[in-house]
Structure 1
Amino acid sequence: MQSRSKGNAQGIDVSHHQGVIDWPKVAAAGISFVFIKATQNNMDPKFIENVNGAKAAGLLVGAYHYLDDSVTTVDKARTAAQSFNKVIQTAGGPDVFDLPFVLDYESNKNKLTSATITSIAKAFLEEIQHLTCTLPMLYTYPSFIGNFSGLTDYPLWIARYHTVAPVDASGWKRWEFWQYSDGGVGDSLPNGIRKVPGINGNVDLNEFDGTVEQLRSRYCNKQSGKDDVKMTDTTSDINKVSPWAADAWEEATANGYVDGTRPGATVTREEMAIIVNRLRKNFLTLIAGNTDRIAELERQLQQIEKG
């Protein structure tokens, strides 16, 4: 995965363990975003206070759910997601939050299989996506990430307390956020220290894969899509692929649906027509099995499309 980069946005994540936080001091220290613990089995006692304080200080705010070891089935995962959503509603609803909702999955005291862990994570993430109409994110550690498979459609927040970047794992080749220190060990803030003014004691330190402006652009201008995912304008550079879309763009280019140029540019109706028609022909070829039946399938498809 990629290394840290000079100019990337800096952030923290907090819970009731940090006690009373002086949010204006945190903001003045160059911290631009925060992920706040919302739930585990119950609502974090400092959640609402922290959300209000961070928002008032101008920080970009996200919320996370710590998956308790008592969640051992898909049904329990969905119930946990629903409880998380109720707390989000208590704070004012999804629109109050600037950053993705997060599933923090890092413990396996019950020795569940990797397949079960993946199923639990997927059930939680899908339920939150359905309830909030936003694409959530997964948080985990390098020592735990091997339990997941097939979840790379979800952005990754990786915890690795080190100066060396995490390695590619379980299909992820990039991190969206990197928790690079717990405040005691790991890498340092750009100023060379690990302490954040306004917080007594240690606090986790995080970096976004981009500048503060790119962070705001990616998550703060939300538009609801028909697929129930809030999409955002990711960058002002139309020639640069956004990290969250890099894998899909590479696959679409390799398969000939796009020419590989101007990934951030607006798509015209003409360009969309070319993509749709190419996909349509490939689909017909696939279900036909051979070219002999294409004409008949074309006729049937036209009838379906005419309603």
Structure 2
Amino acid sequence: MQARKKGNAQGIDVSRYQGKIDWKAVKAAGISFAFIKASQGKSYRDKTFIGNAQAARAVGVLVGAYHYVDDSAKTPEDARKEAANFVSVIDSAGGIASFDLPPVMDYESNKSGLSKAALTAVAKAFLQEVERLTGVRPIVYTYPSFIGNFSGLSDYPLWIARYSSTQVPPGASGWSRWDFWQYSDGSTGGTLPSETRKVAGIAGPVDLNEFDGTVDNLRARFGKRTAAPEKESVKDAVFQVDGKTVGKALLSGSKTNVPLRVLATAFGVSCNWDNSNKVAYLDGRKLQSVQLVEGAAYVQLRPIAESYGAEVSWDAKNKIAALKLKGDK
């Protein structure tokens, strides 16, 4: 993978272990972004998350949230419950739209002795559920010694930990580059451009990170997203299920949105629209990225399809968004 370079945006990641943080001093020390621990497992919530997120945003630090997948996650269903806990905590801090950076899956432990296939299944279920609930593609955080457990996840942005001032993280499991590199735990590894590991405003050690690009590059790569596409950017397309046209698709940039009820019918699950609260549910689960078009609720196709094990393809020439259900040839 690539080396660090001069001018890269510098960041930190924090949790309750850092105690009281002076975010104004952190910002003045040259820190541009921060990932803040939100949750762990199916129910744990970091008590400092909301306060840290609000204080960091107030001084202009770009903020993202991360969740630690613990060893109690042994099945995809366990992973989806952890994802629900994570998104619930994000909601309590203002919702995904109030964060500058994508949500992060921190997966680095296997004390349960799961196989590589089982670990990948847990990771994939967590990532897909977070994307389904938020409409934002998550980031994968892990270590070089753990990344080899994953397969088929390299489409997700990578945040890799390797505490060194000279050794770059090795390519693995389909990843050949990193978006974020955690190069120090505050005690060992690389140093900040100021040649120190100490960050003003934080009493003890803190993890140090670097984005592969400038602060402007970081904003461009992971800038704020709106839940609903702008009207002028929306284009019509055809939505097909197993080769049959079932409705209209709406295109906005790289996002494909389809009618909620049509998608629910395709998967054979229930859906409903709570008009008073403007909230949609699919199979009893709340959806966050929803838009109303001519009285119909539209939702993002890909994250929902992937959570059900289905495949999505795009025919650019004929403007067809195609869904192939699980098991179909």
Deviations 1:75-127 (A, max 9, x none): 00001001111111100100110001000000000110000000000000000
Deviations 1:244-289 (A, max 9, x none): xxxxxxxxxxxxxxxxxxxxxxxxxxxx9xx834999xxxxxxxxx
- Aligned pair partner of 2:51 in 41, 49, 52: 49
Per the TM alignment, residue 151 of structure 1 is displaced from its structure 2 partner at its CA by: 0.3
TM-score, normalising length: structure 2:
0.69
Residue 214 (structure 2) aligns with:
211
Deviations 1:17-48 (A, max 9, x none): 00000000000000000000000131101001
Per the TM alignment, residue 217 of structure 1 is displaced from its structure 2 partner at its CA by: 1.6
Matches within 5 A, 1:12-27: 12-27=12-27
| Alignment partner of 1:130 is 2:170 | no
Percent identity for Structure 1 against Structure 2: 59
| Alignment partner of 1:201 is 2:241 | no
SS at match of 2:145: coil
- The one-letter code sitting in structure 2 at the alignment partner of 1:52 is Q
Matches within 5 A, 1:82-161: 82-161=84-163
Residue 40 (structure 2) aligns with:
40
Pick closer, same or farther for the CA change 1:278–1:174 going to 2, 3 Å. farther
Per the TM alignment, residue 227 of structure 1 is displaced from its structure 2 partner at its CA by: 3.8
Residue 71 (structure 1) aligns with:
73
Residue 276 (structure 1) aligns with:
316
Alpha-carbon RMSD across the aligned residues, in angstroms, is 2.0
User: C-alpha separation between the residues in 2 aligned to 1:111 and 1:128?
Assistant: 24
TM-score, normalising length: structure 1:
0.74
| Alignment partner of 1:171 is 2:211 | no
User: C-alpha separation between the residues in 1 aligned to 2:204 and 2:81?
Assistant: 34
Per the TM alignment, residue 220 of structure 1 is displaced from its structure 2 partner at its CA by: 1.9
Residue 11 (structure 2) aligns with:
11
Q: Which runs of 5 or more residues in structure 2 are unaligned?
A: 230-251, 258-288, 290-313, 321-329
8 Å CA contact retained: 2:65, 2:104: yes
8 Å CA contact retained: 2:34, 2:61: yes
User: C-alpha separation between the residues in 2 aligned to 1:93 and 1:278?
Assistant: 36
8 Å CA contact retained: 2:182, 2:207: yes
* Structure whose alpha-carbon radius of gyration is higher: 1
8 Å CA contact retained: 2:39, 2:86: yes
Q: Which has the higher helix share?
A: 1
User: C-alpha separation between the residues in 1 aligned to 2:188 and 2:146?
Assistant: 19
- The one-letter code sitting in structure 1 at the alignment partner of 2:162 is R
| Count of residues in Structure 1 that have an aligned counterpart in Structure 2 | 237
- Aligned pair partner of 2:186 in 183, 190, 197: 183
User: C-alpha separation between the residues in 2 aligned to 1:109 and 1:227?
Assistant: 39
